[in-house]
A and B are shown apart, each in its own frame.
Chain A
Amino acid sequence: MVQNHHGTVGENKGKRPKFFINDHVDILIEILKRLDCRSLCVAASVCRLWCTIARNDSLWENLCFRHVSPPPSSVRSVVLALGGYKRLYMGCVRPVRSRLGRVRRASWARDEVQLSLSLFCVDYYERLGGGSNSNGRLVGESSPSSLMFLCKPMNV
C-alpha cells in the first residue's frame, strides 16, 4: 500500500520532494488496476480520489478479464448497456469464480466469463419487469433474481 506522506511545502531540507501518489493519478490507476477485488474495495475507502478511481468501471473490466485474453471490443458496449463491469463482476464473475474454484480447470477461465455474461444478461432481463404481470411475479412480491442461487451460501 502506498502511503501518503504530505510533505509541507515550506520545508526545504534539500532532499528530493516526497512522492505523493495522489499527484500521479495515472500511476495510481495502473496500480489499482492490478488489485484483487477485496483490496480494491479497501482502496475505495482511503480518500475521495481513490474512491472515485476505484469505482471507475474500467478497473472492474480488468478484474473481469484478468485471466483471460482480451475480449473483442464489442463486449464492452454490451456490458456497459447491461449495467457495467462492476455489477458484472460483483454479481456474476466473482461468485462464479469462487464457486468453480473447487472444481476449476485452467481451460475454464474464458468459459467462466462467458457464463457470467449470460447470467448477467438474464438478470438484466428479469430486472426489466414492467407491466402488471409480465415479469411473472405477483404484484407486491420482492423483485426477482435469477442470480439468487449465486448469492446463497454454499455448503461446501
Chain B
Amino acid sequence: MKRDHQDICGADGGGYGNSSGSKGESSITSKGKLWEEDQDAGDMDELMAVLGYKVRSSDMADVAQKMEQLDMAMGTAQEDGISHLAYDTVHYNPSDLSSWVQSMLTELNNPVLPNSDSNSSKPQQHQQIVSSNQSQVYNDDSEYDLRAIPGIAAYPQPKRIKTSMETDSSSSTTEPSTQPVVLVDSQEAGVRLVHTLMACAEAVQQENLKLADALVKHIGLLAASQAGAMRKVATYFAEALARRIYGVYPQDSLHPSYTDMLQMHFYETCPYLKFAHFTSNQAILEAFATSNRVHVIDFGLKQGMQWPALMQELALRPGGPPVFRLTGIGPHQPDNTDALQQVGCKLAYLAETIGVKFEFRGFMVNSLADLEPKMLDIRPPEVETLAVNSIFELHRLLARAGGIEKVLSSIKTMKPKILTIVEEEANHNSPVFVDRFTEALHYYSSLFDSLEVSGVVPPSSQDLVMSESYLGRQICNVVACEGVERVERHETLAQWRSRMKTSGFSPAHLGSNAYKQASMLLALFAGGDGYRVEENDGCLTLGWHTRPLIATSAWQVAATE
C-alpha cells in the first residue's frame, strides 16, 4: 500500500473545511501532519490502527482540530484542576479516538461529578482540584479571543508547533487565568473564524481565488456570530481580502480633510496619538533647553495637534520662551485649499495668546522624498536649533525604492539637533503575503480590543466608529494593496533602529521625564490598566497588555570621526 506523505491539508478527504485545499501546501504544520493520510485505506486509517486508534480517514481533520482544542483547554486550565478528567471521568472505548476526544471536550464544558476511574491515554496534569470553579459557561469570550492573540504574538509559546495559522492562540490566554477556560459555541466559532481568515489568506497567496472567495463569504457568516472587537476586526479583514480577490483596489482616495477628521476622532478616543505627541515633545523640549531660536519641521502637520502643548511648555520655560518657527509639511489638497495655512493661522493665534513669538511656513508635497532642504530655509545651528518630527510618516516612504534613503540623507544635511520618530511597532512589510496578514491580524486585534475598552460610552458612538474606520483603512491598505499603492509599510522598532544606524544616526535616549509623563497620560484613560508604557533601550513603547503597538524614538546625527 502506498503511503502518501502529505500534509493533512494536502489530501482531499471530506470535512476539511478549516484548511486550504490546494495541494503542495507546505506551510501548514499542524498536528495533523503527524498523521499521514492514506487515501487508499478503507474506513479506518491504517497507521492509527497500528497505534491502537480507530479513526476514520474522513474524520481526521475534525479529530485533529478537536485535539488542538483539547490541548489548549488543558493547557490553560492548569491552575483550575482538570484532574477530574484523569480520575473521575469515565471514558469508554478510547480507541475510538473521535468520540473519545469529543467526550473529553464535553467533559471540560460540563465537568461531571466524580464517578469511576478513567482509562485515558492522554497525559494529565496533576493539579489540585479547585472546587470553587466549576463549569461556568463563559459568555464573554471575545475578549479571551483577543487577549490571547496579542499574547501569542508577543510571546509565542515554544511548546506549540509554530504554525502559520497560529490558531492555538484564539481560545487561550498566555496570562495566568484564575477562571476556567471553557469552550462555548461562539468561542469555537471564534477559533473557526481565525482559521478561516488564515486559510483565506493562504488561498490568496496561492492565487486560488475561487477558494478564497468561498472562504471570504464564510468569514462574513462567522464574524456575525462574534461580538465586539473580534467581529469588527474580522469584518475589516474580510473586506480587505475581498478587495484583493476581486481586484477592487486601490481604495477610493479620500479628500485629505476627511482622513484628517478620521484621525481627529482617533486622537480623541484613545491615547496612541497623544502618547506620540507628548513623548516627542518631551524629547524636543530637552533638545531645545538652551536655545533662544528654535525651528521644528513637522513631516505631517495634519491639524497641528502636537504643537499647542509644546508651545505652552516653551511659554512657561524658565527664562522665557524662545522664538518658535514651525514648518509644516502636508499633502496637496485636491480643491486647492491651503489647509496648512489655516492650521498655521490657528497656531499663530494660540502663540500670540500665550506670548510666544511664532512663525509658520507650510509646504505641500506629494511625498516627503520631494523635499529639498534648500526649500526649507534652514539656518545654521549656532543661530537656530532644529528639530525634525515625524509621526507615522516615514513608513510610507518604503513604498518607493530609494525614498527613505533620500529623506534620511536630506535630514542629515539639515543638521537637526534631534529627530523624533514615532512608528507602529509591527512588521507589516513582509514580502510574503501570509506573514503580513498574520502580523496585521494580531496587531489590529490588539488595537481594536483597546478601543473597545477605552472608547466612548456608549460604544456605538460616532467617535468610536470613526476611529475604527481610520484603522480599517490601514488594514485595507496592508492587505489589499501592493506596490506603490501599499503605503502602510509598518516596520518594527528593531528594523528602524538598524536602518537609522546604517544611515548615520545615533540614538538619543528619551529620559525619565518622558516616561513619567506618558505613564500619567495613560493612567488618565479609561481602560488605563490595559495600556502599558515600556522603556526599550532608550525608546518608549505604548502597548495594550503585553503587546507593544507604537514606539517613539529619538535620534541625532552621528558624530563623524
Cβ of B44 < 8 Å from any Cβ of A? no
User: Taking A74-B316, A122-B309, A152-B526 as contacts, is the C-beta distance between A134 and B343 under 8 angstroms?
Assistant: yes
A99 touches B316 (CB 8 A): no
B305 touches A128 (CB 8 A): no
B261 touches A136 (CB 8 A): yes
Cβ of B389 < 8 Å from any Cβ of A? no
A residues less than 8 Å from B339 (CB atoms): 133-134
Partner of B257, one of A82, A102, A136: A136
B456 touches A152 (CB 8 A): yes
Cβ of B318 < 8 Å from any Cβ of A? yes
B residues less than 8 Å from A77 (CB atoms): 354-355
Expressed in whole angstroms, the minimum distance between the Cβ of A116 and any Cβ of chain B is 10
> Who on chain B is nearest to A145 by CB?
B268
> Who on chain B is nearest to A100 by CB?
B523
A131 touches B524 (CB 8 A): no
Partner of B312, one of A95, A117, A152: A117
B305 touches A125 (CB 8 A): yes
A residues less than 8 Å from B311 (CB atoms): 121
Expressed in whole angstroms, the minimum distance between the Cβ of B4 and any Cβ of chain A is 55
Cβ of A137 < 8 Å from any Cβ of B? yes
> Who on chain B is nearest to A99 by CB?
B524
Cβ of A65 < 8 Å from any Cβ of B? no
B346 touches A134 (CB 8 A): yes
Expressed in whole angstroms, the minimum distance between the Cβ of B252 and any Cβ of chain A is 17
Docked pose: A144 CA to B303 CA in angstroms? 13
B residues less than 8 Å from A99 (CB atoms): 523-524, 528
A74 touches B315 (CB 8 A): yes
Docked pose: A150 CA to B526 CA in angstroms? 8
Q: How many A residues face the partner with a CB closer than 8 A? A: 47
* B contact patch SS: helix
Cβ of A155 < 8 Å from any Cβ of B? yes
* A contact patch SS: helix
Expressed in whole angstroms, the minimum distance between the Cβ of A11 and any Cβ of chain B is 55
Cβ of B363 < 8 Å from any Cβ of A? no
Docked pose: A128 CA to B348 CA in angstroms? 11
Docked pose: A120 CA to B312 CA in angstroms? 9
B520 touches A149 (CB 8 A): no
Docked pose: A112 CA to B309 CA in angstroms? 14
Partner of A75, one of B263, B316, B342, B349: B316
* Count, A-B residue pairs, CB within 8 A: 127
Which of A102, A120, A122, A152 counts the most B-chain CB atoms under 10 A from its CB?
A122
B308 touches A121 (CB 8 A): yes
Which of B316, B337, B462 counts the most A-chain CB atoms under 10 A from its CB?
B316
B456 touches A108 (CB 8 A): no
Docked pose: A152 CA to B526 CA in angstroms? 8
Docked pose: A117 CA to B308 CA in angstroms? 11
A146 touches B305 (CB 8 A): yes
A108 touches B278 (CB 8 A): no
> Who on chain A is nearest to B257 by CB?
A133
Partner of B264, one of A78, A95, A118, A144: A144
**How does the 8 Å CB contact mask read for A137-156 relative to B, with 1 for contact and 0 for none?**
11001001110111011110
Cβ of B525 < 8 Å from any Cβ of A? yes
Expressed in whole angstroms, the minimum distance between the Cβ of A77 and any Cβ of chain B is 7
B residues less than 8 Å from A145 (CB atoms): 268
Cβ of B517 < 8 Å from any Cβ of A? yes
B residues less than 8 Å from A115 (CB atoms): 517, 520-521
A residues less than 8 Å from B454 (CB atoms): 149
Expressed in whole angstroms, the minimum distance between the Cβ of B355 and any Cβ of chain A is 7
Cβ of A130 < 8 Å from any Cβ of B? yes
> Who on chain B is nearest to A115 by CB?
B520
A residues less than 8 Å from B482 (CB atoms): none
A125 touches B316 (CB 8 A): no
Expressed in whole angstroms, the minimum distance between the Cβ of B271 and any Cβ of chain A is 8
> Who on chain A is nearest to B305 by CB?
A122
Cβ of A111 < 8 Å from any Cβ of B? yes
Expressed in whole angstroms, the minimum distance between the Cβ of B172 and any Cβ of chain A is 25
A81 touches B354 (CB 8 A): yes
User: Taking A117-B316, A118-B313 as contacts, is the C-beta distance between A125 and B350 under 8 angstroms?
Assistant: yes
B316 touches A138 (CB 8 A): no
B residues less than 8 Å from A153 (CB atoms): 457, 526
B residues less than 8 Å from A111 (CB atoms): 516-517, 520
Pull 5 A–B residue pairs with CB atoms less than 8 Å apart, ordered by A.
Answer: A118-B308, A128-B346, A134-B342, A144-B264, A149-B524
Which chain A residues have a beta carbon within 8 Å of chain B's beta carbons? 72, 74-75, 77-78, 81-82, 95-96, 99-100, 102-103, 108, 111-112, 114-115, 117-122, 124-126, 128, 130-131, 133-138, 141, 144-146, 148-150, 152-155
Given A75-B316, A78-B316, A117-B316, 17 further pairs, Cβ under 8 A: A74-B355, A78-B354, A81-B355, A100-B523, A114-B517, A122-B308, A128-B349, A130-B346, A134-B342, A134-B346, A136-B303, A141-B462, A144-B268, A146-B267, A152-B457, A152-B526, A154-B528
Closest 6 CB pairs of A and B: A134-B342, A121-B312, A125-B308, A118-B309, A136-B264, A136-B303
